[in-house]
């Protein structure tokens, strides 16, 4: 009987822990959506540093409830910082830990202005081009590693007119 009671207690505690909502804050002002879609109805606009609780994750969307419990809806993962937004949370930036809240959308660490003002870097392009190999080098490399030849059809020219265009 003691074993059963202990097991029931442990199961109950793990269920409560699993249901505990993760706290977070809005990284910047953004719309709270009624559903996890860009074209969903806007519930309200959340302000920067607005406190919230994450209740569910669906792909790149988080289902949240505002800390004042007035609003519930969906925001994009990259719009939310885990924790309360204080400096003690900075050391956790980029680490998912048990939260799974990490914003890695391909532009991590860049601000909107930096993307708009971006300029080509010729030196880096030349460096990238220096890694090119010709067909003979590629075949030798593959042969040395026991790779087999496979025919792959060429991709269509993206600039060619398609049959679907008027």
Does 130 or 110 have the greater pLDDT score?
130
Please, how many CA atoms are within 13 Å of residue 40, restricted to the half-sphere of its CB?
A: 16
Q: What is the pLDDT of residue 55?
A: 92
Does 82 or 14 have the greater pLDDT score?
82
Using pLDDT thresholds of 50, 70 and 90, give the confidence band for residue 62. Answer: very high
pTM of the model: 0.44
120-130: average pLDDT: 93
Nearest to 101 by CA among 69, 56, 68: 56
Q: What is the pLDDT of residue 8?
A: 55
Asked if residue 102 has pLDDT above 60, the reply is: no
Give the whole-angstrom CA distance, residue 44 versus residue 46. 6
Instruction: Please state, for a pLDDT cut of 70, what percent of the chain lies above it.
Output: 69
Give the whole-angstrom CA distance, residue 164 versus residue 166. 7
Using pLDDT thresholds of 50, 70 and 90, give the confidence band for residue 85. Answer: low
Q: 63 with 79: CB under 8 angstroms?
A: no
- DSSP 8-class letter at 109: T
The domains located in the chain, with CATH, are 20-116 (2.30.30.40)
Q: 59 with 38: CB under 8 angstroms?
A: no
Does 88 or 70 have the greater pLDDT score?
70
Q: What is the pLDDT of residue 117?
A: 86
């Amino acid at each position: 009987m003691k074993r059963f009671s202990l097991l029931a207690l442990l199961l109950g505690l793990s269920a409560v822990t699993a249901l505990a909502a993760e706290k977070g804050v809005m990284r910047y002002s953004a719309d709270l959506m009624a559903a996890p879609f860009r074209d969903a109805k806007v519930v309200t606009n959340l302000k920067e540093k607005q406190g919230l609780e994450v209740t569910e994750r669906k792909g790149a969307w988080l289902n949240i409830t505002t800390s004042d419990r007035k609003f519930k809806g969906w925001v994009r993962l990259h719009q939310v910082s885990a924790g309360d937004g204080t400096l003690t949370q900075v050391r956790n930036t980029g680490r998912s830990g048990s939260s799974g809240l990490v914003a890695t959308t391909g532009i991590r660490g860049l601000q909107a202005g930096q993307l708009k003002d971006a300029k080509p870097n010729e030196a880096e392009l030349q460096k990238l081009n220096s890694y090119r190999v010709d067909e003979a080098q590629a075949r030798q490399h593959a042969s040395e590693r026991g790779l087999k030849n496979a025919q792959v059809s060429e991709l269509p020219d993206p600039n060619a007119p398609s049959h679907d265009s008027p």
